[in-house]
Amino acid sequence: MTGYDDRDGKIWLDGQLVDWRSANVHILSHALHYASSVFEGERLYNGKIFLSRKHSERLLKSGEYLDMPIPYSVDQIEAAKQAVVDANGLENAYVRAVAWRGAGEDMGVSSARNPVRMAVAAWEWGDYYGEAKFKGAKLDVAKWKRPSPETIPVHAKAAGLYMICTMSKHAAEAKGCSDAMFLDYRGYVAEATGANIFFVKDGEVHTPKPDAILNGLTRQTVIGMLEQRQIKVHERYIEPDELSSMEQCWLTGSAAEVTPVGQIGDWNFEVGDLTKDISTSYEKLVRE
């Protein structure tokens, strides 16, 4: 498989489609040095991006959280994504929209005079967790914790928030795991490195309260699916010790979709009927 910097195709960059290999930024781009970057990960199913407009709206909101106004409207971002999909002839793919502080007059922490740039790329991509999507993923427990909202804008989909995700996923993969589960700064169950988490006990569903984590669009979609089934959903603080009594577990995210979990650390879960139903039903929903 070729690297992501060496492919055929088109990428939308600052208002125009350019050759994939020419979509470059300067080494002194502010984002490279100070993490002034926000992004969205989206899935294209049968030629249509699931919840596309909501993703575009969230991208702009993330930019606001970082004091980094993105110079495009939702409609312009939507048009950019469609242009990329059309130019590359894609029907089922992953779509990445990203905005960042570029190179400019400032090269320090302050970057108000530097332009905010934006790009959209898309490529064919399979299951995020590979075979784990069907067998039940195995998760490590990360040594890092999700930070307090008082320390960083946790509700932004910002690149800087993913530094400990990369470190934790590397550590998990070294142990033969697919991913890692974070606790938050208070010690409550939080999320995986790139996905929200759900548990099932006695026919009811429990998921962490999203006050220190991103309230994912797939998370919101799945909660709606559960409520349509009249299944009680508890959005609450979950102590790690409670996991021993949980029967089923799954992850949600645009990349992860709905992925069953079979093990987290020393805790084991069955890939039960509700998990299978939600996973299968989500697959159908996104292709409607």
Structure tokens at 34: 């100070």
Q: What percent of the chain has pLDDT over 70?
A: 98
Q: Is 169 a catalytic residue?
A: no
Length of the chain: 288
Grade residue 129 by pLDDT with cuts at 50, 70 and 90. confident
The pLDDT, as a whole number, for residue 133 is 66
Asked whether the predicted pLDDT for residue 132 surpasses 70, the reply is no
- SS3 assignment, position 44: strand
Asked whether the predicted pLDDT for residue 190 surpasses 70, the reply is yes
* HSE toward the beta carbon, residue 287, CA cutoff 13 A: 10
Which amino acid, residue 174? A
The pLDDT, as a whole number, for residue 1 is 67
Q: How far is CA 228 from CA 7, 223, 224, 233, in A?
A: 43, 9, 6, 11
Q: Which of 157, 175, 201, 284 is catalytic?
A: 157
Q: How far is CA 2 from CA 5, 6, 44, 64, in A?
A: 8, 6, 21, 35
For the entire predicted model, the pTM comes to 0.95
Separation between Cα atoms, residue 1 and residue 4, nearest integer Å:
9
Dump pLDDT digits (tens) for 40-83: 999 999 999 999 999 999 999 999 999 999 999 999 999 999 99
Dump pLDDT digits (tens) for 220-246: 999 999 999 999 999 999 999 999 999
Residue 163 has φ and ψ, to the nearest 5°, of -60, -50
Which amino acid, residue 143? K
Pairing of strands 16-19, 10-13: antiparallel
CB atoms within 10 A of CB 126: 9
The pLDDT, as a whole number, for residue 127 is 75
Q: Report the mean per-residue pLDDT for the chain.
A: 96
- SS3 assignment, position 169: helix
Burial category of 51 from C-beta neighbours within 10 Å (exposed 0-12, middle 13-18, buried 19 and up): middle
**Closest by CA position to 277, among listed 269, 285, 268:** 285
Write down all domains in the chain, each with its CATH number in brackets. Answer: 10-123 (3.30.470.10), 132-285 (3.20.10.10)
Grade residue 108 by pLDDT with cuts at 50, 70 and 90. very high
